Amino acid sequence: MTSLIEDKEAIRELLATYCFCVDRGDPKGLLATFTADGVWDGGPLGRHEGEAMRQFLGAAASSGDGKRRHVVANEIISVSGETATARSYLLVVQVADSGAAIAFAGFYEDRLVKVGGRWLFKERLMKFT
């Protein structure tokens, strides 16, 4: 059994892994952060569940040009046994030869589950502010 601190650290690593996979164009790694029946809800970008979510995120990660940086901060994580919730701020920075600029800001609201000793997204909501 893991401690609360270990669970929270594993969830923070999951949040970071998601960002690196999106930004570096790693659809296989990105999809491995979700349960098979996971949900990704990007508000105006659409709500995608299960296989539709896998196709949408896989295509999105595959089309990445390596010039985005998803940054999460101020994580608030609550763990209850094999389930958890996390809230975090989100900044997406667009990098260009002329410099970097914030593309958009928002926050994530996540529901997570522990499967086979590993934390995964059950539902990831992205809200723009």
Which tens digit of pLDDT belongs to each residue from 101-129? Answer: 999 999 999 999 999 999 999 999 999 97
The number of folded domains in the chain is 1
Which token pair is 83?
């389930």
Cα 50 to Cα 106: distance, rounded to the nearest angstrom: 24
- Mean pLDDT of all residues in 77-106: 95
pTM over 0.85, yes/no: yes
CATH code, domain carrying 56: 3.10.450.50
| Residue 129 contacts residue 113 (beta carbons within 8 Å) | no
Q: Please give the pLDDT value at position 83.
A: 98
- Mean pLDDT of all residues in 73-101: 96
Instruction: Give the CB-side neighbour count of residue 49, counting CA atoms within 13 A.
Output: 1
Q: Please give the pLDDT value at position 53.
A: 95
Q: Please give the pLDDT value at position 63.
A: 77
Instruction: Give the CB-side neighbour count of residue 81, counting CA atoms within 13 A.
Output: 1
| Residue 74 contacts residue 89 (beta carbons within 8 Å) | yes
Which tens digit of pLDDT belongs to each residue from 28-72? Answer: 999 999 999 999 999 998 999 999 999 999 998 887 677 899 999
Domain that holds residue 58: 4-128
- Mean pLDDT of all residues in 65-85: 94
Identify the CA nearest to 35 among candidates 128, 117, 115.
115
Check whether 92 has a pLDDT greater than 80: yes
Cα 13 to Cα 90: distance, rounded to the nearest angstrom: 15
